[in-house]
Structure formats: C-alpha cells, structure tokens
Amino acid sequence: MNLIARRDPGRQSLRTPLEVDAQLLELLNTKGADPDFWSSKERDRSDSVHCIFQYPAMMVPIVQRRLLGAVLEARPDIQSVYDPFLGSGTSLVSGMHFGLNTYGNDINPLAVLISRVRTARSVEFTIGAIGDVVAKKAEADRRETIETSMPNREKWFQADVSIDLSRLRRAIRKCESLWVRRFLWVTLAETIRLTSNDRTSTYKLHARPAAETAKRKLSPITVFRDLARENAASFSTFRRRLTEAKQIKSSKYVAETDVRIGDTRKALDYWGDAAPFDLLMTSPPYGDNLTTVTYGQHSYLPLHWIDFKDIDPAADSAALRTTQEIDRRSLGGVSSDSVWTEDALLEASPRLKRFADGLPAKPEDGRSRLLRFYRDFGASLDSITGVMKSNSYMIWTVGNRNIAGQQVPTDLVLSDLVEGLNCKVVTTLTRRIHHKRMPDRNASSATMREEKILLVRKCEA
Ligand SMILES: C[S@@+](CC[C@H](N)C(=O)[O-])C[C@H]1O[C@@H](n2cnc3c(N)ncnc32)[C@H](O)[C@@H]1O
C-alpha cells in the first residue's frame, strides 16, 4: 500500500491515502459548517482589483485559497498545482500565495496572456510610471494610420477610437521588456472592452444601436492611462502580499510558473516535461461556449489589437478567422473527433444518460450539443488524469447549467466520469454564488446561483 510521507519537523508520520482522505473530510466539514464559508460574502478587495481584465466566470480567489489551505494542511508534501482550464489564472495566483509551482493552459490566447502577466516570476515595479509614459507618447503621436486589419472595424469602433487605439499600439510596441508589453496589452484589452461599440452587458458580440454609439464621447488614451495606474496599484498590492508571505526572494517569486497555450484534450503532448502534477484546481467550462459563456467572442475584439507573437510564438492568429473560431475550437465546439463515442460516454455516466433521455424533442440540437460537449470533456479527462500523480487531489468547481429548461447535473456527471477513470470523489461541497459575473440573463444557460466543489483523488493504478 502506498504511504504518504508527511513533512513534519518533529516526527515523520506515514499515512495511507484513506487516512488523508479522512483528515481532509474533517478539515473541510469543520470549516464548511458555516454555510457561507465557501460562498465568501465578503470579497477580498486586494484580489478582486487584481483581476486586470473582465474575463468571464472568474473563480473567487479567497475560496480557492481556503481550499488550498485545507488540502495543504492534510498534504504538506504538495509542491505543484495545475489548472487545465486556466481562464484568467485565478487558481494559479492562489497557488502562488502558498509558494507552489504553478502550471496551466488554456485554448484562448487572451486567457494565456492575462495569466502570464499575473503569474510572472519577475515584474517591473515602475509599471505605473511606464503606463503614463506610453499614454503620453500616444497623445503626442499625430499619425492616423490604423494598426489593425480586422474585418468590419467600422462596425466595432468609432473612427477616433481606432486612431487612439492605433497610437497606443504603436507606443506599446516600442517598450523593450516583454512582461511590460504583456501588461500593457492586457490594459489595452480592457480599454478596448470599454471603448468599442460592443455592449459590455453580454459576453456575446452585440453592437450598440448606432444612435447610442453616436452619443458616446470616448477617450481611449485616458481610459488606458487610468486603467494602467489601477492595474499597477493592484499589482503592487499582490506582490507585497507575496513578499509578506515570504514567497518573493530577491524580487522573484520563489517557485516555478509555467503557462502554455493549448487544448486540454492534448495536454499529454505538451506537459510531458513538467508533469506529473501534485494537485489540480480548476473550473471547467459548463457546456459548449456558444450556448454558455462565449469566451472566444468576448476576446475577439481585443485580440485583433494585440501582437500575437508577444502572447506566445505558438499562438495561432487563425483563431481570429471569424468571431466564433475560438469558441468553435473549445470543448463542444465542432463535430467531435473525440475518442469517446456517444455509447462509451453514456455507459460511463448513467446519470448523463438519464438526463439526455429525458430531454424534450425541442430544441432539436439540445441533446447533440450536450453529448458533443461531454465527449470532448471525456477526452480532456483522459489527458488530465494522465498528467496527475497517483493519489493526487483534484479540486473541481462546477456550475449546473440548463438545457431546454432542465438543469444538467454537471457535478454528478463529472463524478461518474472520473470514477470510471480510477478516481474517487472524496466529497462534494456546495457554494452559493454572491459575486460571480453571470452570462447573458436570457441565454439558454440561465443563471447559475450555486456551484459544487468536488474533491477528487486519483487512485493508484
Ligand atoms: C470557467 S473558465 C475558467 C475560469 C478560470 N478558472 C478563472 O478563474 O478565470 C473555462 C476556460 O476553459 C477554456 N477552455 C475551453 N475549452 C478548452 C480546451 N479544449 N482546452 C483548454 N481550455 C479550454 C476557456 O477558454 C475558458 O477560459
């Protein structure tokens, strides 16, 4: 039987995985006795300002840190955390508070850019002043050349806004440090979100009515300068907290951070050198992007103004071929060539089968969308379980979405699927959502007011 060595300065105790499960259950249940403990009514301000771009469906950092704290208490030997659906990198940032090696990937280049900025080992402390200088350079630039060749630009940007964004883009390109440019690209992305003609109330691209657009008085350079100052201030708070937690030495984060662009279904192909990982912490998409959260559409306009080579040499600009391309490439997006056939999937999850069988005939594509998503999700689980160590824990935060007015039991389907892959669900916690930004009120996803947190252990082969 595998025994887990516990780093204990006083005495070395060796415990079985079942004993560790029991300790974790006790820790989580004691803490969870307060119904709002996992719900985090109070927001941690220094973390929330640190979000730098309004990426959809961000996890709540204080909850992630509480979960990590509990798992690390039971397993102090854990040294790395992995997030296969990284989004804006919240789980890795939480891992940095504990000095963990942090690894993550996402299929969306904007998510990778934001996460690389947030998790950098070294940062430039004068970034606020640099933001001011870049804004000044943009103001002094009198050229009117437009620095993007995106289709339908006039639909999405007023003429003056395009000129200002082009001036900012030219000024950012002149900065020497890659991290500085990345920070400023993220700031530009948020500037674009606020100054384009796209409505900010939904994640789907949806232009404001022309009459409304004509009335808006916008100054992207001013917006950019203010955001750069805010982002710089929140960054210095974050780095100060890491320093207080003794996770910064000689101005550098003490452990490794590695963010890659990539499809989780192929994670085994590109994490071979860094895996296996000790702990997983993630919140996966709840369904196909198009009918849940359109991460790709939300990123489409900003990405057209950012130098892809600064995100990653492997970032593929064909991801901007259409407004829907990133969403199509994401889980459940296009006809799946997943190794998981429909039959294998429904056999692996009786609860998914029951749900799918009970779906009404309309909308006609409800069932096929659902199963396409889960076939892709199954392929991701194959890869994920392949890059995790034996007896590693996985913390999955999942929301339940609606299809045809019926709530998909996402947590139960995940339980079925991981149990079929030699994993054990140790416990499931419920958290009420107080703060999370929701997708469109009218989308078929409806709103998600509750999330489940599954603690899973990968068993020995
Ligand atoms: C719920 S979000 C993650 C939110 C993140 N935990 C946070 O706190 O910001 C899900 C992420 O999964 C990504 N995604 C979807 N399909 C993917 C795939 N096949 N491979 C990797 N990432 C994928 C989306 O781009 C999105 O960023």
Domains along the chain?
A: 4-121+238-289+312-458 (3.40.50.150), 127-232 (no CATH)
Going by alpha carbons, the residue nearest to atom 22 of ligand 1 is 106
DSSP string, 64-132: HHHHHHHHHHH-TT--EEEESS-TT-HHHHHHHTTT-EEEEEESSHHHHHHHHHHT-SS--TTHHHHHH
Element (H, E) at 378: helix 366-387
* Distance, CA of 385 to CA of 431 (rounded, Å): 25
* Distance, CA of 381 to CA of 375 (rounded, Å): 10
* Distance, CA of 346 to CA of 352 (rounded, Å): 6
Q: Collect all residues with Cβ–Cβ distance below 8 Å to 189 and sequence separation of at least 6.
A: 53, 110, 113, 114, 299, 302, 303, 305, 306
Q: Ligand 1 mean position to 377 CA, how many Å? A: 12
Going by alpha carbons, the residue nearest to atom 15 of ligand 1 is 330
Q: Which of 60, 69, 81 is nearest to 28 (CA)?
A: 69
Residue 89's φ and ψ, nearest 5 degrees, are 85, 15
Residue of 52, 62, 88, 106 to test ligand 1 pocket, by largest number of atoms within 8 Å of CB:
106
Residue of 51, 86, 118, 186 to test ligand 1 pocket, by largest number of atoms within 8 Å of CB:
86
- Quick one: which atom of ligand 1 is closest to the CA of 286? 1
- Quick one: which atom of ligand 1 is closest to the CA of 326? 25
Q: What pLDDT shows up at residue 13?
A: 62
Report the chain (461 residues): mean pLDDT per 10 consecutive residues.
50 80 90 66 52 71 88 96 96 96 97 96 94 98 97 96 98 98 97 95 90 94 96 92 95 98 96 95 91 90 97 95 95 82 96 94 85 95 97 94 90 98 95 59 50 95 81
Residues with CB under 6 A from ligand 1: 55, 57-59, 85, 87-88, 90-91, 105-108, 111, 263-265, 283-285, 295, 330-331
Q: What pLDDT shows up at residue 9?
A: 43
Q: Collect all residues with Cβ–Cβ distance below 8 Å to 260 and sequence separation of at least 6.
A: 103, 104, 105, 112, 270, 271, 312
Angle between helices 366-387 and 410-419 (to 10 degrees): 50
Residue of 107, 280, 387 to test ligand 1 pocket, by largest number of atoms within 8 Å of CB:
107
* Distance, CA of 329 to CA of 319 (rounded, Å): 8
Q: What pLDDT shows up at residue 382?
A: 96
Q: Ligand 1 mean position to 9 CA, how many Å? A: 39
Residue 433's φ and ψ, nearest 5 degrees, are -95, 120
pLDDT digits (tens, 9 = 90+) for 278-307: 999 999 998 888 888 889 999 999 999 999
Q: What pLDDT shows up at residue 201?
A: 86
Q: What pLDDT shows up at residue 43?
A: 53
